[in-house]
Homo-oligomer: A and B are copies of this chain.
Amino acid sequence: MGVSSEQSADIEALRAETHRTRRATVPALEDILYQPIPVLDHGFIRVIDYMGDDGAVVQAARVSYGRGTKKVSEDRGLINYLMRHRHTTPFEMAEIKYHVKLPIFVARQWIRHRTASVNEYSARYSILDNEFYIPAPENLAAQSAANRQGRGDVLEGEEAAHVFGLLREDSERAYAHYQEMLNENAAGGALDENRQGLARELARMNLSLGFYTQWYWKTNLHNLLHFLSLRADAHAQYEIRVYAEAMLDTLKRWAPLTYGAFMDYRMGGIGLSAKGLAVVKRLIAGEQVSQEDSGLPKREYRELMADLEREG
């Protein structure tokens, strides 16, 4: 994982300090605060800070003067109700901040979520590290034949070896040329005193989308759930899904009632259209339904049958 020993020391120093606070505090999240959780070959997520917990959701929904919580069972019922009826504003009342190290092509998907605050490491100002993503052998997938936006079988044998070779060599060459154009060695000195070195903001364009960047990313609980519902989904690209899955674990520590409601109503739930609902009612009534008489187009019919785990 891409954390130097100096960075580890900074992290350990932070973890060693504790303070007294009157704020709502979540011991299960404090346990892992600041610690990098490895993702992919050089990436990580770290929870850097948080504000509020399940109680903040309850407090806001009740606009109460105290913490707002009653019995756990009542709080769970209220949170389930809010989630079920998409009363989303109380979930905006808790906040979390991550430090994330991730390949640039993943960052480009991630940044499309606009309802978050971001500070990214600047390659105009600083020099990127020589770290790039190479998929593990089991993730080197072929293009899907059925789905233009999906993966098929894992590549194997000669083709896999050839692809790994190209990815690795091109990345290493790109970085070597990046340094050469910058005319800087790792220690910050000039490689050649007779050259000026290309501006950092230009040299960076020789790096490929597989190189790692990093940022601070802060969002509220509602927007985090929205992010996770899209990025922890089976249709998300594997390389961003593993980040979302690691974040799901931190959510479970942070706000277990919200996590439970989210898994039930969002991640594990489905949406039925008016036409889909009509089909379901006919099926429940014991009718035979075929695609032709369902009122649904083929693809949608197939998707519905898959949701109901029936042959479409």
Contact = CB atoms under 8 A, between A and B. Distances in A.
Contacts of A135: 202
- A interface, by DSSP: helix, strand, loop or mixed? mixed
Interface in A119-155: 119-122, 124-126, 133, 135, 140-144, 148-153, 155
Nearest to A269: B273
A152 B196 contact: yes
A198 interface: yes
Interface string A219-234: 0100000000000000
B210 A209 contact: no
B10 A20 contact: no
A268 B263 contact: no
A299 B81 CA distance: 9
Interface in A193-251: 195-202, 204-210, 214-216, 218, 220, 237
A105 B204 contact: yes
Instruction: Count this chain's copies in the assembly.
Output: 4
A268 B264 contact: no
A180 interface: yes
Given A49-B51, A208-B205, A300-B80, A216 B19 contact: no
Interface in A77-115: 77, 80-81, 84, 89-90, 92-93, 95, 97, 99, 103-105, 108, 111-112, 114-115
Contact of A95 (B51, B201, B214, B281): B51
Contacts of A210: 205-206
Interface of A: 3, 7, 10-11, 13-15, 17-25, 30, 33-34, 48-52, 56, 59-61, 63-67, 77, 80-81, 84, 89-90, 92-93, 95, 97, 99, 103-105, 108, 111-112, 114-115, 117-122, 124-126, 133, 135, 140-144, 148-153, 155, 159, 163, 166-167, 170, 173-174, 177, 180-182, 195-202, 204-210, 214-216, 218, 220, 237, 263-265, 267-277, 280-281, 283-284, 286, 297, 299-300, 303, 307-310
